[in-house]
Structure 1
Amino acid sequence: MNEEQTVVRRFRRVSLVSLLSAMSQLGTLVVVAIALLYPAPFHQNQLPAIRIGSDLLMSHWPTALLIQRTFAQEHQLPLWNPYFGGGQPLSADPLATLFYPPTHLVHFLSLRDYYLVLILGHLVFAGLGMLLLARRALGLSPLPALVAAVSYMATPRLIGHLGAGHVTIVQTVAWFPWLALACWATVREPRRWSAQFGVCIALMLLAGHPQMAYYGLLMTAGLSAWLLLKRWRLEGWRAALLSLAGLAAAAGIGVLLAAVYLLPLMELTVRSTRQLSLSSVDTYPLQHFLYELIDQQPAPHFLWEGAPHYPWEGILTPGLTVLALALLALAVRWRQVWPLLLAIVIVAALAMGNSSPFYLLVAKVLPDFDRFRGLARIWFVALMLFALLAGLGTDALLQGMRRIRSRGTVAASFLLVLIVALSLVMTDGGHAHVGEVRPDTTPSLLARSAAQLAGSGRIYAVQGNFPQVNAVQLRTPLANGQDPLLIESYASYMQRAGGYTASGYQLIIPAYDNSQVQPHAMLLGLMHVSVVISQRPLTDPLLMRVGEVDGTLIYKNIADAGTAYLVLPGPDRNPPSLDQVRRLNADVRAITLKPEQETFTFSTGTAGYFVIAMPAFPGWNAVLDGHSAPVQLMAGVLPSIKVGPGTHTLSYTYAPPSVRLGTLLSTVGLLAVLGWLIAGYFWKPGKSRRSRKDDGPHMESISSADPPTCAVAAGEGSKRDSAR
């Protein structure tokens, strides 16, 4: 009995020590994240990424406000965003991340607090994933693993992108260590971990940045191939095939779970300006690339042709302290870490873009690999590897100190963590662009004046000086828009209506402004633009100047056709071309005007087309007098419904089949995950031969060393843990 009590007391003591250790590590990550965002966590009105052109203010804030307001007032999620770009599917917008679970914290917090929690949480989450990856896959002891975690979550490039407002990049990159960890676990025990790996894949896809998700999947594919090769060498082809089946199942589950977002995204992408010819011209010569590894400041964009145009795109350094620890790991543990160096070299060759022959070769093989902006963003994968090397370097350094003098090693470990954290926080200083939120999220006098004059109509800002966030706040739709996936037919129409020309990929409406650009009032009116604002005089006589606010002229468009109108058919009895438009003098009355449903009643004495002033998009359905009606296009963009003489009622509703099908597939994926987990809980197969031998960390999964060497290394790691 006394022996049993002794065992219980020892178990409780060990459990308590483990819990305290875990809590202290998590607390360290939280403190580092707070330091990176300082002073925002301590001021009610501050956030990172408060700067001119910030994606957080320009795109993320307005879509979050729309989601928050719509759910609070109508108890449903918004699928359509009517407020910029003429109207766009919110369910497909990567910047909205409508189906990413953390997005829905917005229902419980103010927008400022929501973004602070979201950003802080993802930084800690990234560090926690790296901590577990280093502990489990590399067998590192807690403090070296903590160095790896801090090195990744505070890497300067990540904070630089955060300062630019790239919230979805931060969200997606935070999943990289978890992907690697889940991939490693699935190869070892596919029956146990495949479902969880699939969930990680899905959440990375839902996090909202397609480019970084693409790179994350590439990383996962490369890691899977390496681990499968190692498993085949160690345990034979049967074990490798079982692992391959587990990886394939995880990929299927991930795609199914994310289908509710992926299907609408694909539907929008093929109809967006993104589908136009786009080929990246980014280039990073080797000498500049190597210099940026140690330079704490990004290179100016004018140093060479094809250089990054934005400072955050040119940040390559992992931090000098991290780099020094990584070099130490390479020097001391070459046999163990050479695969990590090889992976870094491969990623570097891809990040150098068009100056690298390897990139040019890969771009011809991988689909759409050369159609991304900011090719150096793939360097995030290498920064994760640098963090792992820093953890290994720390472990090697502590082992060397322990051989010389065992006392003081723990203090030295804490000191190393502190040095790495402080050096990265100092390097990242200013990258986060912390600032006051209220001045940039409060509608200006110009915005309020123009919105009041516009009524239900759209506003067109010639210089784009009407913020999208103000449009959502004031419930005033814009003809302008800035988004990576603008509807191509609408962007083309607005070129003609705005009096400018642009070619290739366009993510801003209007694309530019100069003294030669003169908007066309009648064409703007067909898209229900009732107010035009400009910082210079406009010449169209149908634009009537009504005021001036803060140096910006306000024009009333007397050619505004309204929310919907009737036109005569063209010579071929189809909707007329823009040069042939003849409007019918008919009374059109709006019964319902909601973002996803518009209902009208009207009378006409002659046959014609009922035109709705918004860009057409799949999922919008017309019901005329209780019967489904086909929708044709006027000018390739305006939805037009053929009507005969008489009085009619028409309802135009957004109910996208892509979202319904995606929801069904995601439900199937969720049921598959639940079934997998339940089956795993009740069915406990015997452990594999390898698992019976060693339940500890398996360093051979990333190492090229022979199995005996790896087993010894793993054993040493276990002994260190026991000693602590």
Structure 2
Amino acid sequence: MRLKLLAAGLIGIFLLVSGLRPDGLPFAPGGTFSDAAVAHYPAAVYLRHSIVDQGTLPLWWELNMAGQPFAANPLNKTAYPLQWLALIFPPTWHLNILIILHMGIAALGMARWTQALAFRRQAVLISAVAYALSPRIAAHTGAGHLDLLYALAWFPWLMWAIRDWFASSFSARKLVGLSLIAALILLADVRLSLFAYAIGIIYGIFEAARDHRWSHAFKSIAAIPIWAMLILALIVPLLLWQPYLSRTGLSVAEAGVFSLEPGQLVGLVLPQMHGNVETLTYTGISVLVLAMLALIAQPAKHLEWLVMGGLAIVYALGSNSVVWHALVEALPILRWFRVPARAWLIIALTTPLLAGYGANWLLTAAGDRRGQPRLIGRTRLLTLIGLVIAVTCGLFSWVSLPDLAESGRHLLMIGGITGVIIMLALSGRLTNSRLGVALMLAVAVDLTLVGHSWLEWRGEDEWLTPYTQVAEALRADNADRIYSPAYSLPQQVAAAYDLHLFGGVDPFQLQGIVEAIADGSGVRAQGYSVVQPPLTGIDGDDLRGVNRTAMPDTNVLGRWQVSHVVAPYPIDHPRLELLDIIQGTYVYHNLDYRLEIDPASVPRWAADQKGLPDTATVMEINRATGLTMVTSGVAFAACLLIYGLLTFKAR
């Protein structure tokens, strides 16, 4: 019990060190934007408003992109059951509760999986802490990629369910459980389901081959109909809108964005303390060392993890890999998933597992040093060599490479501590209880120091309050749609003040709307962009000069019911009337605006725009979306009830 409390306490300390606050949202230190504020906060605000205040299903919203589907957009998470906690808690509280909850789910899932693999108690908790505090989990949380956190939390549960499926005889309870977990991953994040299902299939093949349980593998097909019912609310609307989406025509180059560079594999030992989260490869030097112990002690036993790791690296290299190019050419649907470097998240899962294996072996070897004298001797020698290398590389990076000085100090400290702990254990100078605590503390300190450099919390005074005067001025002037060439009115502010944007930030975009925004903004950029209009002329995170040379077409803006334009710079246009300058933001009235489309109509689009469905088609898709939401909701409730009853009966 004390070890469990220690593990929970270490995760809690990590969150507190990162500045967790219920009225704040996660950001990357030094970063300007966070998807938690830009995307997840508005979604929570609107879901709550639609159900609680209006009493209607959230099928459509006018927040951004000149109005578009809400429930059909996977980013808004209406098909993910835990998102509905937004009905109970205020938006910031809701998102923070989900962050804490999913870190707990991740830790419990890894603990459940490693318990099923017969790990010692200390090794179970080491794996659980190593996964919950994984640098990629922390960094994606800091970037506001909360949907990735939600999906990653269920990865170890899927692996446990597969292990449980093959470990004993077939049962309806296991069938329902497997279906539920597989569905939750896809509903949390469609993109990561590609990797979860891939490693799940590989794991299942190895499990079936290990015990010659191929009949179990074939019986698992029975989970597909249940899984399909659970994901209807996401898949059916997405398929219905798919012909109209801009993401459909992604090129190979666009799909390969943020491919991993071979040189970035150095990040396995020298932690990247800032930069692009998508190319972060650090899993923890303490975690990596323990994982290497597992491979040294029992290499044949861990073949499946080596296979998964190798495949993950090849895919993560993306445009730097011939194999990835061949795959996306042969299977164009893979382009839709973009960001191949996210395949590294497979390694972020398997390395903590292997670390648990390594800790398990070390605890056994330290308790019975006479059982494997040659292996222990070889391991001590390799540990000593590794310790010397860590100290040498750490010192060299610290002293000679200014850009890597912090990484070098970290390698020197954590690598040195981990190596000393292992040497003491193999020399019989640490009891098992002390060894377990020492390893857990080393892992927690390692990952907390790195995670803290990727994650912090900021209050509304930084991402909402600075824009309130502009928002209130627009409301006072009865603004209809608002166009902002340089994102001067962020989406979270628009959501809080019920303002509607012509453009915005969202990977779910209708091609016709993208073209309309290009016509109205005068910004024409090649290729796919999650921001509309695309940010041309951006300097780092400074948006003050973005799209400054682009001249908007006020007639097009008027047809799309854009009444106001806000920008961080003056716009010299005869049909834009300056209303005010508020804290450096220029607020203009569009003289070509006339209220021509009923504010209550859905969709509220200009009638002459190509590439968009007509009103009847939109209403038909919305009805289908509502029906699938109800169907999947009933299916989830039924599956949870059945699983609970079968679990109670089994006990």
TM-score by length of 2: 0.82
- Tell me the residue number matched to 1:275: 248
The answer as to 2:217 corresponding to 1:251 is: no
- Tell me the residue number matched to 2:66: 86
- Tell me the residue number matched to 2:578: 545
User: Matched residue pairs, number?
Assistant: 573
Which of 31, 34, 56 is 2:9 aligned to?
A: 31
- Which has the larger share of helix? 2
Deviations, residues 645-701 of structure 1 (Å, cap 9, x unaligned): xxxxxxx968713314424652674487479759967999xxxxxxxxxxxxxxxxx
SS of the counterpart of 1:215? helix
Aligned partner letter, 1:373: R
Deviations, residues 478-512 of structure 1 (Å, cap 9, x unaligned): 11211011111011011011112123213212113
CA contact (8 A) 1:353 1:359 kept: yes
Which of 602, 605, 618 is 1:614 aligned to?
A: 605
CA distance in 2, matches of 1:414, 1:101: 36
**CA deviation after TM superposition for structure 1 residue 222, in Å:** 1.6
The answer as to 2:236 corresponding to 1:263 is: yes
The answer as to 2:99 corresponding to 1:119 is: yes
SS of the counterpart of 1:91? coil
SS of the counterpart of 1:635? coil
Q: RMSD over aligned Cα, in angstroms?
A: 2.8
Aligned partner letter, 2:38: M
SS of the counterpart of 2:501? coil
CA distance in 2, matches of 1:86, 1:654: 19
- Tell me the residue number matched to 1:48: 26
Within 5 Å, give how 1:354-503 maps onto structure 2.
354-404=319-369, 408-442=431-465, 443-453=467-477, 455=478, 457-503=480-526
- Tell me the residue number matched to 1:636: 610
CA contact (8 A) 2:481 2:563 kept: yes
- Tell me the residue number matched to 1:582: none
- Tell me the residue number matched to 1:201: 182
CA contact (8 A) 2:107 2:132 kept: yes
Unaligned runs of 5+ in 1: 1-20, 233-238, 300-309, 565-589, 599-611, 616-632, 643-651, 685-724
- Tell me the residue number matched to 2:121: 142
CA contact (8 A) 1:37 1:434 kept: no
Aligned partner letter, 1:31: G
**CA deviation after TM superposition for structure 1 residue 47, in Å:** 3.6
Structure 2 vs 1, CA of residues 427 and 399 (structure 1 numbering), >3 Å: closer, same or farther? same
**CA deviation after TM superposition for structure 1 residue 558, in Å:** 1.8
Aligned partner letter, 1:614: W
Higher alpha-carbon Rg: 1
Within 5 Å, give how 1:55-204 maps onto structure 2.
55-136=35-116, 138-188=117-167, 189-191=169-171, 192-204=173-185
**CA deviation after TM superposition for structure 1 residue 42, in Å:** 6.4
CA contact (8 A) 1:536 1:553 kept: yes
CA distance in 2, matches of 1:26, 1:99: 33
**CA deviation after TM superposition for structure 1 residue 375, in Å:** 1.3
Within 5 Å, give how 1:549-628 maps onto structure 2.
549-564=582-597, 593-594=599-600, 613-614=604-605
SS of the counterpart of 1:656? helix
Structure 2 vs 1, CA of residues 269 and 451 (structure 1 numbering), >3 Å: closer, same or farther? farther
Deviations, residues 73-109 of structure 1 (Å, cap 9, x unaligned): 1234322111111112110222211121211222222
Aligned partner letter, 2:79: F
**CA deviation after TM superposition for structure 1 residue 640, in Å:** 7.3
Which of 219, 240, 248 is 2:214 aligned to?
A: 240
CA distance in 2, matches of 1:665, 1:640: 26
Aligned partner letter, 1:495: A
Structure 2 vs 1, CA of residues 544 and 139 (structure 1 numbering), >3 Å: closer, same or farther? same
CA distance in 1, matches of 2:636, 2:497: 38
Aligned partner letter, 1:379: W
- Tell me the residue number matched to 2:400: none
Structure 2 vs 1, CA of residues 153 and 682 (structure 1 numbering), >3 Å: closer, same or farther? closer
Which of 552, 556, 560 is 1:519 aligned to?
A: 552
CA contact (8 A) 1:92 1:265 kept: yes
Structure 2 vs 1, CA of residues 373 and 48 (structure 1 numbering), >3 Å: closer, same or farther? same
Aligned partner letter, 2:9: V
CA contact (8 A) 1:294 1:320 kept: yes
CA distance in 1, matches of 2:233, 2:614: 29
CA contact (8 A) 1:40 1:46 kept: no
- Which has the larger share of strand? 1
SS of the counterpart of 2:578? strand
The structure, 1 or 2, with the larger RCO (C-alpha pairs under 8 Å, 6+ apart) is: 2
Aligned partner letter, 1:408: T
Which of 645, 651, 666 is 2:632 aligned to?
A: 666
Unaligned runs of 5+ in 2: 370-427, 536-545
- Tell me the residue number matched to 2:402: none
CA distance in 2, matches of 1:472, 1:678: 38
